Amino acid sequence: MMIRELPSNGIMYKALVEKDSSYEGVFYVAVKTTGVFCRPTCTARKPKAENVEFFSSAEEAIDTGYRPCKICNPLELSGTAPMWVTELLNRVESSPGERWKDDDIKKLGFEPNRVRRWFKKNYNTTFITYMRTKRLGEAVNKIGNGEKVTPTAYTSGYESLSGFIDALKNLTGKAPLKSKEVDLLSIEKINTPLGSMFAGVTDKGLYMLEFEDRRMLKTQIKRITKIHNLVPVIQKHKLIKKVEEQVAQYFEGKLKEFSLPLVISGTEFQKKVWNELLNIPYGETISYEELAKRIGDIKAVRAVASANGFNSIAVIIPCHRVIGKDGDLRGYGGKVWRKKRLLELERAL
């Protein structure tokens, strides 16, 4: 594991106090008085500045003699669902047609407010809305596979056909019988050492792979669904598992070229830039000027930089391999510290 250059102690301690999630993966903090080390976002009581030291990796903290915190689990991938969330999802997914309410969650032994906070933080929605969206996505799939509307409504947890029809119209913009013509963009979260990412796929391929804290995430989803006439839903898809597997292999240093089907969403100029990005070898970088030259328009440096910023398939379409001609990393939609980590990973191998 490479020892990386860290931000100043003042910046890191400020991030620790504010539980700044943008520093997940940048540093780990160890508490001298307790002998444990944590993530920047740990909810445990914050120690005094003189009682902490910072590390760039969990391995460094362990080698120095610290043990992992039991509250924030710093050895888990950032964004990994805790065991109680996994248990909750397993139990509710065994009854897919159930309409879950707070009282039902309590009966299962879970605190509704705790559940609500976790889903709001990790999916920007409540658990009830999360489950409702999943049920509707599954209902659209059933109708598209030839199942009748009325039985689908009741097996999806709706007490009235009219309520189901209204919900489908709100989701797809179409009446139930027309919903079989709708294509869904299946969105699911995957975890990486640099934070959680959202993957968006259909049977045709991967449309989106974005870090969850990217400011343009919602804009990208709207843009992609508009271009391809898709309806976004949170649901599992067989291709997402392949995305997760290959991304994991990349971060483990076992994969240098991805073999996933990609669906690129953009203007002809943007597509030209993104296709050229795919030609940059693993572990190498080029300047924005060089990228403009390679697409045949040396004067289009700013346009090339803008196209880089609109890339919706991070890591796989390697916009992180484009830097300033002076060696400066410049901007990156997934945050510059991630760009630095990605380049460190590739260059180390």
Q: Which of 38, 69, 72, 319 is catalytic?
A: 319
Q: Is 296 exposed, middle or buried (0-12, 13-18, 19+ CB in 10 A)?
A: exposed
Find residue 28's DSSP bridge partners: 55
Pairing of strands 67-68, 36-38: parallel
Nearest to 239 by CA among 213, 219, 209: 209
Round to whole Å and give the CA distance between 104 and 110: 9
Q: Write out the two tokens for 194.
A: 């640099």
DSSP code per residue over 101-157: -HHHHHHTT--HHHHHHHHHHHHSS-HHHHHHHHHHHHHHHHHHTT--HHHHHHHTT
- Is 319 an annotated catalytic residue? yes
* DSSP structure string for 14-43: HHHHHT-GGGTTT-EEEETTTTEEE-TT--
Question: By C-alpha distance, which of 279, 258, 275, 259 is closest to 267?
Answer: 275
Q: Are 265 and 312 in contact (CB under 8 A)?
A: yes
- Whole-number Å distance between alpha carbons of 336 and 330: 7
Q: Report residue 281 as tokens.
A: 């070898």
At residue 37, what are phi and psi to the nearest 5 degrees? -125, 150
- Would you say 333 and 311 are in contact if contact means Cβ atoms under 8 Å apart? yes
Q: Which residues are identified as catalytic? A: 319
